[in-house]
Amino acid sequence: MNANQHPATPPPAAIPADVHCAQDYETLASRYIAAPTLAYIAGGSGRGVTAAANLASFSDLAIVPRLLRDVSTGHTRRVLGAQPFEHPLLLAPVAHQKLAHAEGELACARAAQATDSGIVCSTLSSHRLEDISRLAGPRRWFQLYFQPGRNATLDLLRRAEDAGFGAIVVTLDAAVQAASLDALQAGFRLPADCVAANLRGHENLSSPVLAGNDSRIFQGLMRDAPTWRDLDWLMTQSHLPVWVKGVLHPQDARDLQQRGVAGLVVSNHGGRGLDGAPASLRALPGVRAAVGASFSLLFDGGIRSGADAFKALALGADAVLIGRLQLYALAAAGALGVAHMLKLMREELEVCMALAGCPTLDDIGGDALMPAAPLLP
Amino acid sequence: MNANQHPATPPPAAIPADVHCAQDYETLASRYIAAPTLAYIAGGSGRGVTAAANLASFSDLAIVPRLLRDVSTGHTRRVLGAQPFEHPLLLAPVAHQKLAHAEGELACARAAQATDSGIVCSTLSSHRLEDISRLAGPRRWFQLYFQPGRNATLDLLRRAEDAGFGAIVVTLDAAVQAASLDALQAGFRLPADCVAANLRGHENLSSPVLAGNDSRIFQGLMRDAPTWRDLDWLMTQSHLPVWVKGVLHPQDARDLQQRGVAGLVVSNHGGRGLDGAPASLRALPGVRAAVGASFSLLFDGGIRSGADAFKALALGADAVLIGRLQLYALAAAGALGVAHMLKLMREELEVCMALAGCPTLDDIGGDALMPAAPLLP
Amino acid sequence: MNANQHPATPPPAAIPADVHCAQDYETLASRYIAAPTLAYIAGGSGRGVTAAANLASFSDLAIVPRLLRDVSTGHTRRVLGAQPFEHPLLLAPVAHQKLAHAEGELACARAAQATDSGIVCSTLSSHRLEDISRLAGPRRWFQLYFQPGRNATLDLLRRAEDAGFGAIVVTLDAAVQAASLDALQAGFRLPADCVAANLRGHENLSSPVLAGNDSRIFQGLMRDAPTWRDLDWLMTQSHLPVWVKGVLHPQDARDLQQRGVAGLVVSNHGGRGLDGAPASLRALPGVRAAVGASFSLLFDGGIRSGADAFKALALGADAVLIGRLQLYALAAAGALGVAHMLKLMREELEVCMALAGCPTLDDIGGDALMPAAPLLP
Amino acid sequence: MNANQHPATPPPAAIPADVHCAQDYETLASRYIAAPTLAYIAGGSGRGVTAAANLASFSDLAIVPRLLRDVSTGHTRRVLGAQPFEHPLLLAPVAHQKLAHAEGELACARAAQATDSGIVCSTLSSHRLEDISRLAGPRRWFQLYFQPGRNATLDLLRRAEDAGFGAIVVTLDAAVQAASLDALQAGFRLPADCVAANLRGHENLSSPVLAGNDSRIFQGLMRDAPTWRDLDWLMTQSHLPVWVKGVLHPQDARDLQQRGVAGLVVSNHGGRGLDGAPASLRALPGVRAAVGASFSLLFDGGIRSGADAFKALALGADAVLIGRLQLYALAAAGALGVAHMLKLMREELEVCMALAGCPTLDDIGGDALMPAAPLLP
């Protein structure tokens, strides 16, 4: 294990006293995560342009309070796919969670069950998907990366089906991933004990052999990148609803909808895909407009508070995924921390709903928002 | 009394020599108010996004000077409700004023009378409303929070009527209030001697009992939040004109106007309500447009100078309320400080009017403003 | 003489070696001017909002270079009023120039003559207008403040006529002036030897006596502020063309044009009038549109380079006035410094003209500018 | 040789270990280039306003990823003029490359050949054009400044033809160049051994003799600036296609297109021409709109990454030129560094293409971009 991966302090048994809101887990992250690891988790690809844009985009919008509305029967329930959810906050599929805590995804699974939260288990989890599934409660989905070779992909799919996950979320936006310059500079390397547990035993397929004029990108890394044909194949193979994660362009959204996917996740991979991609929130209204009001749409990218979640919902998301905060809370206090973070964020969302006069998620519409920008043109 | 509540220096008997404009009372506040208390007073809810937006919004606008107009008969008089006011600067209802000065609201009342200012006494005043009323001069209104139980609300209403207040201002935007993170971090707690004097003897109603699936927000804090029915009831009970404070959405404004309220206060509770709500100034033009030119509209949220007041008036406010500056001036020099602050701000407003060629408040219109923003699209 | 008014170093006999462009005189000003005096000169009224806006406004605009145009017969000549000028850069009427250099306005007058520049002598000059006039060359105008009492005003007018000034520039935007907070904090006071030389012997008119309800602004300071009647009177009295300085609103511009003034100066008094007034450059296009293409329009407010001058000309100014840079150059190297600053700025303007393909001032139009702002909406 | 021109450390024999992306050569530049020289290379003219705008403009735009497109046959080939290029990244004509490395242009020529890159050799190269040509590979063009005297210009043209360059790129935007204030302050002077090798033996034409009223700019520096007549003459003389570099205004673009030039380079000379000119990227769409979709258009100004190149291509450029990064990589590791920088940038471009679903350059269109700006108006 690389020395620089050790947390600065051993994770405490209890919720830190100075966490007053969900985002405080981020504020305090450096207390629980060693600097190189934190650089890796916090960083976006390249110079982190998109990761920063994700965060900044929320401050362009204000939430308009409403008065005197009776919200005493309010709730946050919503059906996603065919499944009922207690609230629209899901744990995003984050890889390699042992980086933050030895219990990793197992702790997050427990927190999801304890808080009635949805959870999407990553292909690159550091525990086995079967073990995560057993702890994760009923609202568990499996995030799938196409593997180099259909057998390997099919193997993962069948295991997810067998383990009782309720849906497959195919991530399509990470065919090539540039490392974070900050993480490179901080000297981060994945520690030896942090392996993709689900992929053990998968044969290492040979890298493409490039001819003289071939591009390492086009003929190399992209040679096996999934195409429409692969998605079609997957959908015929899957017994579970298939969602697609990583959509930003309205035309892709329309095409995927027509292909019959169950829903989409508007996402730029937390700024870890193409550095320079738009903020997810910037892309959300266009995608919602493209697929119509009733098609299922999840969102991730920069959610740090219930107010952020509210804004994404008001712009058309049905629910949101929580990525980095999950890791920060995990590092700070294990399953307890993640559950606490989810509870805080849900209450923050409920406060926004209450004050914006929205007793249910369906009441959250675009008219609940105003530009936070200047008054006169 | 909590040690951290003690002012850093005992309040002086006289106006500080280095106060040159109303806002200087804010600049110098840390000299007179202990850090945790100042964090509480200055802070907005949560991360203070809305509190900061209030201040920033004024800098989007410039005031256009006019030439050669005769303003030698100029004045700042205006009728609000049916009551004549000498000028459109009112002391806002700020709770717990003993935090700033032992004389608290009594000092502010004296300052209001001395400067012919309007004053709105808070339900949560640290002195009794009857005592404040006696000192406050003729332009005194009472700010009312709905209490948990109509008897308690009615009791406050009747006491306010008996004490001779001229209007009731019902605050509706604070059903749930998140604490300021800054104040939490600074360790602020309300000192023991700082109690809501008007509520002494009110029975502590039991908190709602939550069932297993109930939300602490929807079924808890919001269970007793006022609704349209409560407002209707209040208006039938009140012998005084009823204003509503906390309006930001045009539709709420229209609905309240049709309900027959005497006027509205465009306000986001100084950024102490929903963190992420728009700047009050951002919301003002929409509300004015919704209620028409002649309906009464007050404004608060970020007023720090006569120029700020001028801008709010130009965008449709009939008068403005002064919150935090009131506390800062109070802490600095008691009644004298508050009176001085009001005098400075009134003269600042008059200078703006004189230079913008507006001898009366009715002459201040939207054409007195220009965007302070870039020249070309 | 107040100790804090003494320059930090005695002014050198020669141009500082590290002045490479006109604005460098500002960069180096603290080397030659004591801090309190510099705060007074550099400061705008109040918090300096407008003074800062003047500077910032220029960066909203870019100048578009043009190719292959023959500018070898280029020049900067222009007729202002009926008078031919070699170039459109005039020394603005800046009061109390002894603050910067013992020779004050006399040095600036010499510099104007040496560089074929126009100069506008201030009513509040620290040398007598007759002495300035003798040194100032043929393009000298006189800036007039209405005095408390028509006799005093008439006396100044006649002296200006007798001294051979070519035009009267009445400043109308400074009926009330708030001091700079920075200068107040720095403890600036006008030194005893810095008096308004032109006003010696003027009787001190009694201040207005205010009744109980009177406003110190409306019935006090504004009682004797000039009105349209005063301007009409002045125009009947003057044998010289009368310009008006301080115009920002298009309607004022139209009204003054119809009144028959010779021309206007778009100005916010360098941000020393109403703090919060728009940047002069922001107001310029509206004023130009109001008066039509052929009416005479000068500009001041934030000119620090030839590029700034070019932008003002492109937006409709016929010429520009240079205020603070005049003082900085004066402090740095007396008449020589001011002449050097003017020479640098003229060459900077000529470089802009050459590269934008404009051989004459008439070739500088709005199409020479582009927004410097973002690409896509 | 001036002492301050010596690099801080001798250039290493190998690629620096901490270069992870093309722009890192800029980040690390101060390690390899002495401060005054770096100020000269990095600086824009004057205050560097345009140089900074070049860089900032790219962050206004985001690149929208696309999903599932097959790019496995992707490539970056493009025909420019009649010549096939492997990729659209060319080395810009940068003068005086001995400032960065003793091998200067010779090293860059080798790097161009090694990476199949185009290279544009500067008139002001510190090695002779014939020597550069021999090493530069097949895609070499020659950048021409009009010389004072047609013979000298013709001599350069003929030498470029004889040396086998494939096109002439006439730079027209630098008739007058203001020095960088930063470089002046840093005390930069061109070292004695850094001469314009191509101009040795050219007679020094006498400077223009100015009459009393003549302008040093119009009648001096601009007397011999090229005009349309000179360009016409050059085009009749040249046996090579003639491109024009330095175009920003759409009308200039149209006029040059009609004159029959082979193509244009949208450029503001890296911010070293008119300080205050618009960012090149800001001007690009207007120029592309003016000349139509099929006319050849190169771009330079602020390219620091493959993403920047992608954005310029999406806004209408056919290829981009790399200026300052070339020098930084040259200083860091000679020919090897430049080749490495080009390889990195090409792969960065390919990653953007792959993730934006563009297998060829022709697939990169305006719909691949979104504003990176706020969501709501």
pLDDT above 80: residue B190: yes
pLDDT above 70: residue D5: no
Q: How far apart are CA A263 and CA A243, in angstroms?
A: 5
Binding partners of C (≥3 Cβ pairs within 8 A): B, D
Instruction: Give the model's confidence band at C376: pLDDT under 50 very low, under 70 low, under 90 confident, else very high.
Output: low
How far is B24 from chain C, CA to nearest CA, in Å?
10
Touch B-C: 3+ C-beta pairs under 8 A: yes
Residue A87 a catalytic site member: no
Stretch 279-308 of chain C: residues touching chain D, C-beta under 8 Å: 305, 307
pLDDT above 70: residue B9: no
Least CB–CB distance from A359: residue in B53, B218, B283? B218
Q: What is the pLDDT of residues B270-316, one digit of tens each?
A: 999 999 999 999 999 999 999 999 999 999 999 999 999 999 999 99
Can you say whether the dihedral through the CA atoms of A361, A364, A365, A369 is positive or negative? negative
Least CB–CB distance from A218: residue in D66, D75, D374? D75
Active-site choice (C87, C101, C127, C269): C269
Question: Is some CB atom of chain B closer than 8 A to the CB atom of C242?
Answer: no
Binding partners of D (≥3 Cβ pairs within 8 A): A, C
**Which residues of B are the active-site residues?**
269
If you measure CA to CA, which chain A residue comes closest to D70? A227
Question: Is some CB atom of chain C closer than 8 A to the CB atom of B201?
Answer: no
Question: Is some CB atom of chain C closer than 8 A to the CB atom of B76?
Answer: yes
Q: Residue A3 has what pLDDT?
A: 41
How far is B374 from chain C, CA to nearest CA, in Å?
6
Q: What is the pLDDT of residues A240-288, one digit of tens each?
A: 999 999 999 999 999 999 999 999 999 999 999 999 999 999 999 999 9
Place of tokens 């309010």: A74
- Mean pLDDT of the D362-366 span: 96
- Mean pLDDT of the D356-374 span: 93
- Mean pLDDT of the D85-101 span: 97
Q: B72 vs C222: CB contact, 8 Å cut-off?
A: yes
Question: Is some CB atom of chain D closer than 8 A to the CB atom of A88?
Answer: no
- Mean pLDDT of the A217-234 span: 95
Q: Residue D374 has what pLDDT?
A: 67
Q: Residue A376 has what pLDDT?
A: 59
Q: A359 vs B215: CB contact, 8 Å cut-off?
A: no
Least CB–CB distance from C173: residue in B63, B67, B347? B67
Q: What is the pLDDT of residues C125-139, one digit of tens each?
A: 999 999 999 999 999
Least CB–CB distance from A20: residue in B184, B223, B226? B184
Q: What is the mean pLDDT of chain C?
A: 93
Q: Residue B2 has what pLDDT?
A: 42
How far is D235 from chain C, CA to nearest CA, in Å?
14
Q: How far apart are CA D51 and CA D47, in angstroms?
A: 9
Domain B24-192+221-370 sits in CATH at 3.20.20.70
If you measure CA to CA, which chain C residue comes closest to B71? C218
Distance of CA A332 to the CA centre of its chain: 19
- What is the SS3 assignment for chain D? CCHHHCCCCCCCCCCCCCCCCCCHHHHCHHHHCCHHHHHHHHCCCECCHHHHHHHHHHHHEEECCCCCCCCCCCCCCEEECCEEECCCEEECCCCCHHHCCCCHHHHHHHHHHHCCCEEEECCCCCCCHHHHHHHCCCCEEEEECCCCCHHHHHHHHHHHHHCCCCCEEEECCCCCCCCEHHHHHCCCCCCCCCCCHHHCCCCCCCCCCCCCCCCHHHHHHCCCCCCHHHHHHHHHHCCCCEEEEEECCHHHHHHHHHHCCCEEEECCHHHCCCCCCCCHHHHHHHHHHHHCCCCEEEECCCCCCHHHHHHHHHCCCCEEEECHHHHHHHHHHHHHHHHHHHHHHHHHHHHHHHHCCCCCHHHCCHHHEEECCCCCC
- Mean pLDDT of the D302-323 span: 98
If you measure CA to CA, which chain C residue comes closest to D372? C376
> CA angle, corner B242, sides to B240 and B247, nearest 5?
165
- Mean pLDDT of the B122-132 span: 97
Least CB–CB distance from C61: residue in B73, B75, B376? B376
The model's pTM is 0.95
Least CB–CB distance from C281: residue in B23, B347, B375? B375
Q: Residue A347 has what pLDDT?
A: 97
Q: Residue A205 has what pLDDT?
A: 63
Q: D64 vs A248: CB contact, 8 Å cut-off?
A: yes
Q: Residue C177 has what pLDDT?
A: 79
Q: Which residues of C touch D285 (CB under 8 A)?
A: 375
pLDDT above 70: residue B171: yes
Q: What is the ipTM of this complex?
A: 0.94
pLDDT above 80: residue C205: no
Instruction: Give the model's confidence band at D208: pLDDT under 50 very low, under 70 low, under 90 confident, else very high.
Output: confident
Considering only residues B279 and A177, tell me which one the structure prediction assigns the higher pLDDT.
Answer: B279
Q: Residue D3 has what pLDDT?
A: 41
Q: Which residues of C touch D275 (CB under 8 A)?
A: 307
pLDDT above 90: residue C227: yes
Q: What is the pLDDT of residues B193-230, one digit of tens each?
A: 889 999 998 866 667 788 888 999 999 999 989 999 99
Question: Is some CB atom of chain D closer than 8 A to the CB atom of C67?
Answer: yes
Question: Is some CB atom of chain B closer than 8 A to the CB atom of C59?
Answer: no
Q: Residue A4 has what pLDDT?
A: 46
Instruction: Give the model's confidence band at A80: pLDDT under 50 very low, under 70 low, under 90 confident, else very high.
Output: very high
Q: B181 vs A356: CB contact, 8 Å cut-off?
A: no
Q: What is the pLDDT of residues D167-200, one digit of tens each?
A: 999 999 877 878 899 999 999 999 988 899 999 9
Q: Residue B345 has what pLDDT?
A: 98
How far is B318 from chain C, CA to nearest CA, in Å?
20
Determine the residue among B61, B234, B249 to mutate to test chain A binding: the one whose Cβ has the most chain A Cβ atoms within 10 Å: B249
- Mean pLDDT of the C189-203 span: 88
pLDDT above 80: residue A167: yes
Q: A218 vs D355: CB contact, 8 Å cut-off?
A: no
Q: What is the pLDDT of residues B63-95, one digit of tens each?
A: 999 999 999 999 999 999 989 999 999 999 999
Name the residue among C140, C236, C225, C114 with its Cα closest to residue C176: C225
Considering only residues C207 and C213, tell me which one the structure prediction assigns the higher pLDDT.
Answer: C213
pLDDT above 80: residue A203: no
Q: What is the pLDDT of residues D14-64, one digit of tens each?
A: 899 999 999 999 999 999 999 999 999 999 999 999 999 999 999 999 999
Report whether C354 contacts D218 (CB < 8 A).
yes
Name the residue among A12, A196, A22 with its Cα closest to residue A101: A12
Active-site choice (D96, D127, D269, D340): D269
Residue pairs between chains C and D whose CB atoms are closer than 8 Å: 135
- Mean pLDDT of the D287-307 span: 98
Q: What is the pLDDT of residues D57-66, one digit of tens each?
A: 999 999 999 9
Q: A173 vs D65: CB contact, 8 Å cut-off?
A: yes
Report which secondary-structure segment, H or E, holds A157. Answer: helix A150-162
CA distances from B370 to B291, B304, B373, C22, D265 (A): 23, 20, 9, 31, 40
Instruction: Give the model's confidence band at B175: pLDDT under 50 very low, under 70 low, under 90 confident, else very high.
Output: confident
Q: Residue B168 has what pLDDT?
A: 98
- Mean pLDDT of the D302-322 span: 98
What is chain C's alpha carbon radius of gyration, rounded to the nearest angstrom? 20
pLDDT above 50: residue A106: yes
Question: Is some CB atom of chain A closer than 8 A to the CB atom of D352?
Answer: yes
Binding partners of A (≥3 Cβ pairs within 8 A): B, D
How far is C100 from chain B, CA to nearest CA, in Å?
26
Determine the residue among D57, D351, D363, D370 to mutate to test chain A binding: the one whose Cβ has the most chain A Cβ atoms within 10 Å: D351
Stretch 205-224 of chain A: residues touching chain D, C-beta under 8 Å: 215-219, 221-223
